[in-house]
């Protein structure tokens, strides 16, 4: 069984628009709890779910902004530092999500991507 205890940084996509989030998971056996803070108006949510082998499923319930629970399902990588899957509120409201363990590697990856985007923009402007 995977160990998801700790801090995670992730993104979910709704209608093609990405939203970043920070998650803190506490795992006790197969049970998973914790909190998620979305980087938008929805804010903080509580999380409750399960980890079974390399599979994760949990429900995210916002504390103030939205009464609709969001169900997440996904798969955890072999080295337990990445997970991805699908979220859904209803059959017509769903999308993809991913998360990585929080740490310096994630910040380095983000800085590398931003630098590449800046270089590409600079090249496009000089043409």
Per-residue confidence (pLDDT) for residue 44, from 0 to 100: 95
Residue 52 CB burial class (10 angstroms; 0-12, 13-18, ≥19): exposed
What is the tens place of the pLDDT at every residue in 37-61? 999 999 999 999 999 999 999 999 9
| Contact present, 51 and 1 (Cβ < 8 Å) | yes
The share of the chain scoring above pLDDT 90, in percent, equals 72
Per-residue confidence (pLDDT) for residue 127, from 0 to 100: 61
pTM higher than 0.85: no
Pick the CATH number of 6-101 from 2.40.128.120, 2.60.40.10, 3.40.50.80, 3.40.50.10880: 2.40.128.120
pLDDT(105) > 60: no
> 120, 109, 106: which is closest to 8 by C-alpha?
106
| Contact present, 56 and 63 (Cβ < 8 Å) | no
CA 102 to chain centre: 11
d(CA 73, CA 83): 10
Cα dihedral across residues 115, 11, 26, 51: positive or negative: negative
What is the tens place of the pLDDT at every residue in 58-102? 999 999 998 999 999 999 999 999 999 999 999 999 999 999 998
């Amino acid at each position: 069984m995977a160990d998801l205890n700790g801090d995670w940084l992730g993104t979910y996509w709704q209608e093609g628009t990405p939203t970043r989030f920070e998650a803190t998971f506490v795992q006790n056996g197969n049970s998973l709890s914790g909190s998620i803070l979305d980087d938008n108006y929805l804010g903080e949510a509580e999380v409750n779910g399960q980890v079974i082998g390399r599979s994760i499923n949990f429900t995210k319930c916002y504390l103030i902004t939205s009464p609709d629970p969001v169900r997440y399902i996904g798969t955890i990588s072999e080295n337990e530092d990445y997970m991805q899957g699908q979220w859904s509120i209803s059959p017509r409201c769903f999308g993809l999500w991913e998360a990585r363990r929080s740490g310096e590697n994630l910040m380095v990856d983000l800085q590398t991507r931003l630098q590449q985007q800046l270089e590409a923009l600079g090249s496009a402007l000089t043409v």
